Amino acid sequence: MPLLSVKKLTKNFDGLCANSNVNMEINEGELVGLIGPNGAGKTTLFNMLTGVYVPSEGTIEFEKDGKAVKLNGVKPYKITAMGLARTFQNIRLFKEMTVLDNVLIAMNKDVKYGTITALLRLPAFYKEEEKMRKKAMELLKIFHLEDKKDELASNLPYGEQRRLEIARAMATNPKLLFLDEPAAGMNPQETAELTNLIRFIRDEFHISILLIEHDMSLVMNLCERIYVLDYGKIIASGVPEEIKTNKRVIEAYLGEEI
Ligand SMILES: Nc1ncnc2c1ncn2[C@@H]1O[C@H](COP(=O)(O)OP(=O)(O)OP(=O)(O)O)[C@@H](O)[C@H]1O
């Protein structure tokens, strides 16, 4: 059974069809790309998969304990709790909080003490807080941000803010991670480092990743399989070599280098 299974997914906005009959599968441990020209419907699809938009038609199913669970209409925070996390095209960090607190706040769904324990600051509270802090610091280390733990998120350079957003998404313990243009605004050196980092977290945490990206070198280097959207429809899917030479894909990009 695939980890994520999308069937005939459609989203209409007042006469505009942003996604039409989209079929997609993501298997356990896969690193999959979602590409397409501007306005093709990539972010709309992400928004349906993460509960931001309710699909007009079709189904989204997520495998949980060997059973397919329908995600249509499920609230975003519940979808996150089920093991799907995401980052955003326009970075959404808590800018006035520290780097460490940005990660800690994402772990809150996993706290194992009750309100009374927290209010009375019982020993279980401190033990759990210490455990979370340790886990947060381990994540910051992986994302090369441990030295920045006390900085305000707003003071980080752009590339580091992008990395922090991924670290925060990883703090929710996802099985499937959605990255919306993770390399946007990065220079080639940062993009190369990010490519290695994404591959590393997939291997280290045994998760699946679906990423939207306009940087074709990153997509073709990193993704094992690629879906191509154009005018809301999937026009091709396959391994990078197939996509690069696919006539419909080349036409959709109007001769741009793929
Ligand atoms: N909330 C909304 N209301 C109305 N139209 C919308 C809404 N969200 C997206 N659209 C429209 O749906 C279409 C697909 O947009 P979407 O942002 O999903 O494309 P995209 O492939 O992510 O584009 P880009 O690569 O430029 O980010 C566009 O025509 C967009 O204007």
pLDDT tier, 130 (very low <50, low <70, confident <90, very high otherwise): confident
Find the 129 Cα to ligand 1 centroid distance in Å.
40
| CATH architecture designation of domain 2-82+173-252 | 3-Layer(aba) Sandwich (3.40)
% the chain with pLDDT above 90 = 76
The residues that bridge with 236 in the sheet, in sequence order, are 228
What's the pLDDT score for residue 194? 92
Residue 238 pLDDT grade (very low, low, confident, very high; cuts 50, 70, 90): very high
* Number of the ligand 1 atom closest to the C-alpha atom of 46: 18
Q: How many CB atoms lie within 10 A of CB 104?
A: 19
Question: Would the CB of 90 count as within 6 Å of ligand 1?
Answer: no
CA of residue 138 to ligand 1 center, whole Å: 36
Owner of token pair 């709309």: 44
Q: Whose Cα sits closest to atom 24 in ligand 1? A: 38
Residue 13: CB within 6 Å of ligand 1?
yes
Token pair recorded at residue 113: 């003490």
Length of the chain: 258
Percent share of the chain, pLDDT over 70 = 92
Q: Is 44 in the pocket of ligand 1 (CB under 6 A)?
A: yes
**pTM (predicted TM-score):** 0.90
CA-only gyration radius of the chain, Å: 19
Closest atom, ligand 1, to C-alpha of 47:
18
Q: State the distance from the centre of ligand 1 to the C-alpha of 46, rounded, in angstroms.
A: 11
More confident residue, 128 or 68: 68
Q: Tell me what ipTM this predicted complex has.
A: 0.96
For ligand 1, whether the C-beta of 18 sits within 6 Å is yes
Spatial separation of the C-alpha atoms in residues 42 and 88, rounded to whole Å: 12
Contact of 218 with 194, CB cutoff 8 Å: yes
| Pair of tokens at residue 165 | 């957003």
Report domain extents, the chain: 2-82+173-252
- Nearest ligand 1 atom to alpha carbon 45: 18
